[in-house]
Structure 1
């Protein structure tokens, strides 16, 4: 069976997310000699990795006769400025995968008319530890083989959910894209509450962190639903039930409002 991995790939934007994706591709066996990195200010770590693995760093676009996949991982607000340079790397058969928050396939097509096959994807920060959650939507010009190739690349950093409606990407951005920050803030709040309850600050923070880490791993390994797991740790009239009696009232509408605010902002970044 032919490998779905591309033979040639250009990554534009080798920052935290781009770098995390690159590590995933190398881990699943993509040939580093076929990877080119484009970044005007690459980190020392990225320069060292490119040198070690034999990846081209900021090559002349004319030197690349084939670019099967181009992954666009710059900041969304840089699209207009970067578009002419990106255009130079697009070949007739290039698949463009964009992870730019808020930038629709229509936005990309208007600025990158050479791209005829495009996929919009939204990974999140846990991609850096291969536990990412990505939502993706394919444009009409994407072939089955190209989608399989994109799926293999995106699954190298975690799970992938394919969406029939590109309009849902903003909701993905608000839930899983921004979601890790919500969880990190929960750890901050739990640690602060532990301190208020009398624990030394350092112990409160370690306990809060370990609690979220453990709960997340249990959720990962267990086939049970989140609701069932919650019920399993909640004894009737016990301490957890007392805490949840305070938390469960306001938390859901607060999270709904949080996600709605993030989704609105994702929409504002479009265009």
Structure 2
């Protein structure tokens, strides 16, 4: 990433000075109803950041909120060494500027070792295309917070929203994402390609680049059964490999009124 996210010379705000350009930000937040406290997810909050100053800053921001501070795991983590298979689900705060692996691999590994976990990513202040944001949502992120002068407030809002069972992202793109995923699960989509509900589940995990073994672990089925479903999906969508899936689905969505033509190949590309 070309833009430096952290500024080690600044003891208070490790994200560096706020942007000086005129602010023209999209509204963020859930597009679904949330249920504060009454249906709150019982997740411990785990900061994952390789930069110790970044980790400290994120912990301080969350500690300033009494309800969130009580949920913080201590100490923050910089790698996967603290994770063991079968670990309890957590809400992970990910510093995307410096991670122990690619974002997709981080989410994939933590999802396998800590099933049911949620993920909020702190993004740099650079511009992101719509496809970038959609890709990150498809990777399994539940919240995206961009570095800005409102970072502290937005991070707290994002974490509270995710704990309330919703997703924190630009509302316009979140609405698109919901339409896309709803179409992938719709009776029309399943009937069009004669997919079974289980094949639809496997397809969604395949789009997130989980391996056959990892899909099996998540769905609690054997790797051999996953391979069987993948083979059926390839036959029904008329593709030869996983890399061809996004283009095939994008072409199908472009001709589907119910998908509102939002499921473009670039939006589905998750690698």
TM-score range, shorter chain: 0.3 to 0.5
TM-score by length of 1: 0.34
Which structure: greater helix fraction? 1
Larger radius of gyration: 1
